[in-house]
Amino acid sequence: MEREIEAAFSRGNPNDVLSSAFEMDIIRLDIWRLKGSSWLSAQIIHFYLNLVTERSKKEKYPAVQAFTFYFYCKLATRGYAAVKKYTEDVNLFTKHIVFVPVFMNCHFTLAVIDMRKKTIKYFDSAAVKRKKEICETLFKYLQEESQQKRHLELDRSEWTLRSMRSHEIPQQENGDDCGVFVCKYADYISRDRPLTFTQSDMPYFRKRMVWEIIHQQLL
């Protein structure tokens, strides 16, 4: 595994395709961003969230749906009409967990909708400011989605919306690892595991993600 990871980090053509799935190509340049302390590309995060989704179909884990960063950006700026096509072939309300990655102010974060518990939580690995409005925007989206697809009204009093505090979730200790934190939040939450990792795990997670992406298989 170490040899494969080092080969992926080698000085090959930056445009070499090292993994292709989910109608996405991961090129060597994307993989290079997993080395050291570089920011991840959105492509890497999207690919990884798709791996999490695929794992949920094959093993006894909660059913998962994951959106892209473009979803929340369109929803926040243009409203429900701009994103309703994202679920043309998906019934969100049959899923257990929905991941909504968010990119704001050059920072990657993650919102998590848990249909089982009726919660919407916002996970920020540099939680200097709570952003409950993101949860509110997503609940409004769910209301409209439910009305459009099921003709049912969601009861706001039954739902809990929370922006997680810094002491409640793992936090980054640099300005570079937010993308890795997003991926690992999703990895752990999709398996109903407690978030027990820390900043010190990031170098290992980065190398592990290289192998997982190349082999399209989560360890």
Q: Are 99 and 49 in contact (CB under 8 A)?
A: yes
Q: What is the pLDDT of residue 26?
A: 98
* Assigned fold of 2-215: Adenoviral Proteinase; Chain (3.40.395)
Vertex 46: Cα angle to 55 and 213 (nearest 5): 60
Question: Which residues are part of the catalytic machinery?
Answer: 107, 124, 178
**pTM, rounded to two decimals:** 0.95
Kindly give the confidence (pLDDT) of every residue in the chain, 219 residues in length, as a single tens digit, with 9 standing for 90 and above: 999 999 999 989 999 999 999 999 999 999 999 998 899 999 999 999 999 999 999 878 999 999 999 999 999 999 999 999 999 999 999 999 999 999 998 899 999 999 999 999 999 999 876 688 999 999 999 999 999 999 999 999 999 999 999 999 999 999 999 999 999 999 999 999 999 999 999 999 999 999 999 999 999
Hey, what long-range contacts does 27-31 have (CB within 8 A, 24 or more apart)? Answer: 31/210, 31/213, 31/214
Can you tell me which residue has the tokens 């909708």? 113
Residues in CB range of 161: below 8 A, 6 or more apart = 119, 120, 121, 132, 135, 136, 139
Please provide the DSSP assignment of 85-111 as one string.
Answer: GGGTT--GGG-SEEEEEEEETTEEEEE
